[in-house]
Structure 1
Amino acid sequence: MPFPIPDHLPLDISSNVLSKFDSVTSQSLNSSFASSCRAELDESIRLTKTKIHDRICADSSSFQRQLSSAKSFKERLDTLSRHVQALSVTLSDSKSGLVPVLLEALEAHQLLAQESLNVDVLSDSLSHLSECRAQLDALQKLVDAGDLPPAVVACHALSSLLILVPGPLKDASVVSEMQTRLRVLSNRMEELLSDAYTKSVVVNASEVIIKPFVLVPRSLKPLPLSSVLSSISSASLAVHLSTLRRDILTHYIECSFDQPTSLTVSAMQDTSGALMHVLGRFPSPPNTTDTVSPLANVSTALDFLHKQLFPVLPLPHKHSFPRSLSKPISTAILARLLIPGLPSQLEALPAFLQIVNKAVDLEDKYIVGMLDASSERDIKAWVNNVCTHYERQRRSHILNSARKLIIQSISSSEPTFYAQLPLLQEIPDNAGLAPSDEGDAWGLDDDGQSSNAGSSRSAPEEENVWGFDDDQQGETETQQADPVEVVEEDPGDAWGWNDEEHAPEELVQAEDTWDDPWGEEPALSEVTPAVRTVPVSSQLPPANSAHATQRVSRPTDGTSRYPSKSGLITEPYLVSTLAKSIIHTVEDALHEGQGLSSSGIFPTSSTSTTTPGTLIMQSGALVLDLYRAVYPIVAAARLVRPGDVMKFSNNCCWLAEEVGRLVVHERAVLVVKDKLEECKSVLQVLADSWYQDGIDIQRTALCDILASAKGFTDTSDQDRYDDCEMSISRVVREIRSAANAWKPVLPKSKYYTAVGAIVEVSLQRILENILAIPDIPEVESHKLSELCRILAALEGLFVEDFSESSFVVSYVPSWLKFSYLSELLEASMADLTYLFGEGALVDFEVDELAKLVRALFADTPLRTNTLDKIMGGHPVR
């Protein structure tokens, strides 16, 4: 069985012994094994004792000293234990111990202190209750006697006493009863004071009554209004004053601006004989138009309040209540008198400025002086910018009128008139583009000579050259003599403002010329040519093209161009009267701004950044911007038609021209010259953009139609030929339709340029498709030639006099090339070689001719020789 191992044995010995016991089995555990283990342990104990003894012997003196110290500690510990036990008996003994005796004495002292404290608290509570009782009785007597101001003071004192009630009385029923009675009396006093206020200050729609003294129930003498106001609670007084401010502003300030009103101040006695001050309000006669009376009413009302009410207000409200009236009064004067009364005509400004000055004086005297609102001078700030306010209102009115004018013009068909477009390039008769023997070929001399006195040709010479008969010569001489008359011109004519008045005399020729479209061409003798103009967009045919010199001509200048008053040659074009209304509005704004600036009504202020009239003059440019922004939106449904697109372009062009004239001739535009010049530039860009857009829309439509022909291939098939023929016919119809829509709208130069552009894109697309066909059999070549000849009918669009040749080449550069293509499709190799050798095919590139020869003719030595000749380049002449 296990046994304890002595602690003083080394750990290794005990571990070895335990290990042996752990490894022993029941067979090996016997007496000999136990004896050996015991012997081993005894030996270990002996060795340990020997070591201890040797250690003591080695330092005997230290051992003896430590042994004696240990004995001494033990003796003192025993002595201390005996003393502690004796002290514990002395302190804790139940009969004679010090602690029980002390606790008994403390308990007796505590009972005595508690009895004394209870007596003191009872005395203080009874004293406080007695004082509260006395205060409550006094308050009751004051309320019963109607002496309310002292009662209010007593009420506050009693309330303070009840708040400071001793702790033991906080939950006492007697204190709750006193608090209830105090609350009842306080409510009663508040009710009596409110009733006194309502009797002293009466405000209704017809009068304001203020009584300096008021008699309350059971009161022996009337109470002063100042005492009543100072006695009312702050919350109740704030409500009363808020209601008073609202009623005064509604019935006596704002109402004075809304309807004619007269205010009177009087003093009288009521039925009881008490004095009262009355501010009476009476409606003025309906025909009263004096706009200064509202300001007088405001002055009367404020004087009344300043004398009768403001002095009796309690100190917290003596300054805050008058100041609270300043902002609403300033707002009422601005919102109900000055801003609505701002005139829309310059003639009404002097009378309005008188009212403005009186409003400023009222603000200085009453709002700033009386109501002590020195930091806020809204009226003065508004008056300092009254010129700007007037101009902004006028600008808004001008822009609104222009916007309505633009929108109304869309709801009905727009009236139009014919304006005159100055031509860009003037060429004298004696400085033609070609010698005199080439004039017939180009049609440059169709107009005859100038009617100026300095002409180098006489009348007989003109007859020999042009073959005019005597009647034509007489008519020409008659029209030459007409401009000699000296007529004093109206300044408005220079701007076209009087076009309506002179329309029957000045525009009848233009209208007859351009109606249906352009109408019947007048005889050359019916027009007085002065200067011949070459369109800028015209392109001359190649000089070495013999075919060109035989077929090219120019549009007759005399059929649509007229000398203007400045001596320039002009062309009529259609413009909407809306544009004239817009330019009238612009000019009116410039004149109005100049009139305001020169009137001196608003002197230039040192703090102002703009001079008077500038904003109104700037409205002219804003009207033009408004037209550019609004019209394309509201007229979007109309601007999908070709004619209306070009008409809008004409409107912008005419407006740009008129704005340019305003910039040059109007003195008023110096301030806004840069802005008007910018508007002119933008309008001209807009005119050119819409003009080009109108052309591009037609180009896109024509390209879409030609795309349905699928490259004009396989035309030997009848169905394919019919499809191609239908596409070509649609192209011709679309071009004629666009030309018919543009002819009465555009000036002649722009008209031919636009029509030439859409014809040119059609011819180029067809040329590209046909020249791209790699192989053209004989049947297809005849079919393609027939298709190309359909477009020859478009040449009639460029003929004005069918006795003369057309001028299609001037506006359709590819016309000769396209015409030769229709001939080459059916020409023989010899014809093609001859035309090439004569230089008639210079419009074709060498590669294009080579490709066409390969597509039309079989591969033979003759074709090879022809190709070699073509690849050598066009012949030089």
Structure 2
Amino acid sequence: MPPSERETCQAVLGFVLDGIYPEEALVAAEFPASALAKELELISQAREQVENEISSLSRENQSFDADDWIVQAKKLHDDIEKSRQTAREIVAQHEQTGPLRSQVEDATAKVSLMETEITFNQAVADTLEDVQRLCDQLDDGRQALDAGDMGRAIELLDSTQSAMGEDTFFTNTNVMSIFSLETARFREEVENKLISRWNEQLKVDRSSGTFEVARDIDTGSLGETISFMSQLNVLEHARKNLLKSIGSTIFDSLILPRDDGKVRTLSTTGNGLKVTPGYSEGSVAAVLSQTMKALAFLRENLPSEILSELPESLIPFIVSNLIVKWLGPTIPTTLDGLVEFEKTLEDIHIFAQKVQSWGWQGTEELTSWVNQAPRLWLTRRRVDSLDSVRKALAASKGTTKQVERVEKEQVSRADEVLLESGTDDWDASWDDDKGEDEKEQDALSKPANTIGIEEEEDVSAWGLDDDEDADEESGKPIPDTLGTADDADNDAWGWGDEEVEDQDLNQHGHHLADDPRQSKETCGTIQSAGSREMTLREVYTITDIPESMLEIIRQQVNDSKGIMDHPYSESRVASSGNGLLALPTLILAMFKATASSFYSLRLASGQMYLYNDSLYLASQVRELMDEHDLARLSSDVEALEKFGKLAYSKEMQTQSTIVTDLLDGAQGFAQCSEQPFKAECESAVSAATDRIRDVYAEWKPILSHSALVQSIGSLLSTVISKIVVDVEDLGDISEDQSKQLVALCNQVTQLEDLFTPDAVGDTDPLPVTAVYVANWLRFQYLINILESSLADIKYLWLEGELGLEFSTEEVVDLIEALFAESEHRRRAIAEIKRAPRGLGN
């Protein structure tokens, strides 16, 4: 027997010994009776073994009386037998209670199931009753809605929704889903009915442009409708839609003009607004009046629940459209409209104050606009002036006209002798204080002064050579006519590229002698007893653009002064009058920013026209500046002159590049006496000279005569410089090559006719090529060297002026290239090296 069962049996025996009823002991022990019976048998066997041992001990110990013990043991045995019998009976009875217990458990389960079914059926019955009650409420609600009892319908709807919100038996069932759908449909029916009543009481008809307010209708008052809509939380959405419809139907028609500026007008009835179908001429005053009428009607006829949202919804829309569609365009661009504009500002102020007096917000932007009227007017003038520049350029037809520049100078009697020399470069000696190398470099793109000579008098020298030494000794520099551009103006209009162009300008036109002020400063010292005043005149061609620019600039200057006079001085914008004087700077900057592309695309030789126009415009603006004491424009005028000279420099650089490229076809004149190189050299020289003649013909009607001959002289100087350099680079020149080079050089020399002045009287004028072509004499000496003997070259160096044009090294190199090694050549070279340069007379 396992120890656990043994312990249990011992416990049962303990219960029995303690007088507990065996069945109770078994129940208390909850142990099978078979195990108990087996334990009793083991006890009986133990008892017999004990008795045997006692008997054995008693026999061994004769003095011990064991009979009493035996008697007692038999009694105990009998009691144990009774207990065993009783235990067997208990076990038998216990085995008979098993089926009965199963029956009891089955009956108990059936009773529990019946109770559960009864509870479920009761719950189903209660749920069906709840569903029936809710369905009845929905039916009653629909009947109340059909009967027009909106309050009862909303009450039943709220009651139904509250009941559905409670935790019921069918919360998570299909019944709830179906019923929720029915409730939503009923709510939609109620809302649609309310919206229908709302639209009948506040009727907006976009097709007819009307809005009517019907406070009481058959189905109830507007206040009740608003109350019901508040209960259903649909008032906010309906209110927004209403105000949006009013804005698009009424205020759009009043404020938003058609393309032709016409708008509709408004009429009021007892309970509504109506926009007339026709259009009339619109004005700010009329629009403000119509808008105020519409707002006043809404304020008087709409309930407070709607008016509370009206300023936030409609006022910003009205204000923004008034500013964009009406107030902005009414800002005048001339003084003539200032009086009307001042009335407009007053009307706007009154409108804003009236709306604010109602306690409505949203007109702050209108008030701010009125306060900023001076700045807005100045901004409008700025935009209009800049746009006028663009329009003037776009509208230009490219028509041209000739203008005359006149300057008076004091000329001494001694200088008059030079005036009869036949030369026409009256400003040629302005830069005589430069060295010969500087003259050659500046001659490349030096634009001429556009001033000519009255009565065709030649004032090429003016005796300025006499003043060279004085200028050098005094250290007084010849003024630079380029000036400096205003840094702020350049930054604003992207003239940073001028920094790069200035380098080219310094090389090709740093001392541009075309500023009348420069000639006055330079020549003003030529005073002597018996001097007389000479008038210098010259014509050149400009387009119609400078006059358009001047008209725009004059308008700003004149308006800045006129705004201070009655009746404009009382205007709110009168304080911005001085601001107009800043606009000419922007106008000139706009011209510089857009002119380059326009002239290049619209006009042939556009850069030369731009050069003339810029200088003419600068001179006119300077006169305007002096007339009205506008010192602030000084830097702008200088920047404009610089801009024009940059255009001239660019064109000269382009043409110089072209003639240089054409001469490159000669390939340095090597083997120029042999075919096919001879043909290539002739073609290259011919192309270069033809190009110069073509440019002369193209620029002749544009530039003044002095500017024309100086620009052509610069191009010819470029050609000559390249030819001289190429010839000097030839290491060996044969007799045939020498003859061919002379022929080619003579072909270039034929361009001298371009520098021959017109005949005066019966005398034949002499060419003044050397005046305008810095290296002309050097070129002529080169021809002499190529076709002269060794003795002639030595004579030119020793007795002539060859040393003024060529250095000793250059002459020696040419002699070595032209003549073969001999005693005569060595002797001639030695004499040339010993003789001082330029000694000859």
TM-score when normalising by structure 2? 0.68
Q: CA deviation at 1:145?
A: 4.0
- Superposed counterparts of 1:154-169, under 5 Å: 154-164=156-166, 166-168=168-170
In 2, the alpha carbon distance for the partners of 1:636 and 1:381 equals 46
Alpha carbons of structure 1 residues 164 and 863: separation in structure 2 relative to 1, 3 Å = same
RMSD between aligned residues: 4.6
- Secondary structure class of the residue paired with 1:572: strand
> 1:143/1:700 Cα in 2 relative to 1: closer, same or farther (>3 Å)?
closer
Is 1:83 the counterpart of 2:7? The answer is yes
Counterpart for residue 63 of structure 1: none
Cα gap change, 1:700 to 1:318, in 2 (>3 Å): closer
SS at the partner of 2:691?
Answer: helix
Q: CA deviation at 1:850?
A: 0.9
| Aligned counterparts of 2:602 and 2:279: Cα–Cα separation in 1 | 55
Q: CA deviation at 1:589?
A: 2.4
**By how many angstroms is 1:125 displaced?**
4.1
- Aligned equivalent of 1:697: 654
Shift of 1:249: 1.7
Is contact 1:646-1:694 (8 Å) kept? yes
Structure 1 counterpart of 2:551: 584
How far off its partner does 1:121 sit?
4.2
1:398 to 2:381 alignment: no
Residue type at the aligned position of 1:299: M
CA contact (8 A) 1:593 1:617 kept: yes
Matched, 1:279 2:279: no
What residue in structure 2 maps to residue 550 of structure 1? none
Q: Deviations over 1:483-512 (max 9, x none)?
A: xxxxxxxxxxxxxxxxxxxxxxxxxxx99x
AA paired with 1:636? S
The whole-number CA distance in structure 2 between the counterparts of 1:445 and 1:307 is 87
Aligned pair 1:385/2:388, yes or no? no
Q: Tell me what 2:430 maps to.
A: none
Segment of structure 1 superposing worse, 630-639 or 829-838: 630-639
Q: Say if 2:640 is the partner of 1:683.
A: yes
User: Within 1, Cα distance between the matches of 2:279 and 2:801?
Assistant: 97
2:699 maps to amino acid: W
Counterpart of 2:379, as a letter, is R
Contact 1:699 1:758 in 2 (8 A): yes
Q: Which amino acid aligns with 2:327?
A: L
> Residues 804, 206 of structure 1: CA spacing in aligned structure 2 closer, same or farther, 3 A cutoff?
closer
Q: Give the aligned partner of residue 399 of structure 2.
A: 414
Equivalent of residue 588 in structure 2, options 624, 646, 656: 624
Match of 2:412 among 429, 451, 470: 429
One-letter code aligned to 2:811: L
Deviation at 1:140, TM superposition (A): 5.3
Q: Residue 291 of structure 2 is aligned with which of 277, 280, 298?
A: 298
Please name the residue that 1:211 is paired with. Answer: 214
**Deviation at residue 649 of structure 1 after TM alignment:** 0.9
Q: Quick one: structure 1 residues 419 and 200, their matched pair in 2 at CA, closer, same or farther if it must change by over 3 Å?
A: same
Aligned to 2:195: 194
Match of 2:313 in 1: 324
Shift of 1:371: 6.9
Instruction: Give the Å deviation of 1:227.
Output: 0.9
Q: Deviations over 1:45-87 (max 9, x none)?
A: xxxxxxxxxxxxxxxxxxxxxxxxxxxxxxxx99777436878
One-letter code aligned to 1:622: L
1:779 and 2:736 matched = yes
1:389-788 matches, within 5 Å, as: 389-409=376-396, 412-420=397-405, 422=407, 428-430=411-413, 432=415, 532=462, 569-596=536-563, 599-603=568-572, 612-613=576-577, 616-637=580-601, 641=605, 644-667=606-629, 669=630, 673=632, 676-717=633-674, 720-788=677-745
Distance 1:445 1:403 in 2: 38
Q: Check 1:845–1:84 CA distance in 2 against 1; reply closer, same or farther (3 A cut).
A: farther
Give the secondary structure class of the aligned counterpart of 2:802.
Answer: coil
Q: 1:384 is matched by which residue type in structure 2?
A: N
- How far apart, CA to CA, are the structure 2 residues paired with 1:727 and 1:182? 101
Deviations 1:91-124 (A, max 9, x none): 66586999x9999999799669857855874686
Partner of 1:373: 361
Q: What letter is aligned with 2:254?
A: S
Q: Following TM superposition, by how much is the alpha carbon of 1:723 offset from its aligned partner in structure 2, in angstroms?
A: 4.1
Letter of the 1:591 counterpart: N
Aligned to 2:303: 310
> What's the counterpart of residue 799 of structure 1?
756
1:224 is aligned to 221
Structure 2: distance between partners of 1:294 and 1:446: 68
Displacement of 1:681 in angstroms is 2.7
User: C-alpha separation between the residues in 2 aligned to 1:859 and 1:415?
Assistant: 63
Stretches of structure 1 that go unaligned for 5 or more consecutive residues are: 1-76, 217-222, 268-276, 448-509, 540-560, 606-610
Q: Which position in structure 2 is the counterpart of 1:864?
A: 826
Matched-pair contact (CA < 8 Å) for 2:253–2:275: no
Alignment partners' CA distance in 1, 2:659 and 2:559:
50
Counterpart Cα distance in 1 of 2:750 and 2:320: 77
Q: Deviations over 1:659-682 (max 9, x none)?
A: 333333324x46xx2xx3343233
Does the CA contact (< 8 Å) of 1:432 and 1:444 recur in 2?
no
Give, as a single letter, the amino acid of the residue that structure 1 aligns with 2:326: L
Residue of structure 1 in register with 2:793 after alignment = 832
| Local SS of the residue matching 1:635 | helix
For residues 452-505 of structure 1, give each alpha carbon's deviation from its aligned partner in whole angstroms, at most 9, with x where no partner exists.
xxxxxxxxxxxxxxxxxxxxxxxxxxxxxxxxxxxxxxxxxxxxxxxxxxxxxx
Unaligned runs of 5+ in 2: 13-25, 33-93, 428-448, 470-518, 525-532
Q: Is the 8 A contact 2:284 2:344 kept in 1?
A: yes
Letter in 2 for 1:827: S
State the 1:531 CA deviation. Answer: 11
Equivalent-residue separation in structure 1 for 2:694 and 2:268 (angstroms)? 84
Give the SS at the match of 1:660: helix
Are the equivalent residues in 1 in contact too, given 2:425–2:460 (CA < 8 A)?
Answer: no
- CA 1:239–1:834: 2 relative to 1, 3 Å: same
Aligned CA distance change for structure 1 residues 718 and 309 (closer, same or farther; 3 Å)? closer
Secondary structure of 2:541's counterpart equals strand
CA distance in 1, matches of 2:597, 2:465: 33
2:282, 2:613 → 1: CA distance? 46
CA distance in 2, matches of 1:439, 1:390: 57
Which of 226, 233, 251 is 1:253 aligned to? 251
CA contact (8 A) 2:728 2:813 kept: yes
Quick one: distance in 2 between partners of 1:418 and 1:377? 55
Q: CA deviation digits over 1:423-471, x for unaligned, max 9?
A: 9xx66314649xx7x8877969999xxxxxxxxxxxxxxxxxxxxxxxx
Aligned length: 664
SS at match of 2:538: strand
Equivalent residue letter for 2:361: A
Identity within the alignment, %: 21
Partner secondary structure for residue 399 of structure 2 = coil
Flag the 1:121–1:793 CA change in 2: closer, same or farther, 3 A.
same
What residue identity is the alignment partner of 1:791? V
Distance in 1, matches of 2:154 and 2:702, equals 94
Deviations 1:259-310 (A, max 9, x none): 565545444xxxxxxxxx2334446895x76642322222222222222223
Q: Is residue 353 from structure 1 mapped to residue 346 from structure 2 by the alignment?
A: no
Is 1:417–1:574's contact at 8 Å kept on the other side of the alignment? yes
1:427 & 1:772 partners in 2: Cα distance? 48
* SS at 1:209 equivalent: strand
Q: CA deviation at 1:612?
A: 1.0
Distance 1:381 1:587, change over 3 A: same
Conservation of the 8 A alpha-carbon contact between 1:421 and 1:570: yes
- Write the letter of the residue equivalent to 1:645: Q
Aligned to 2:38: none
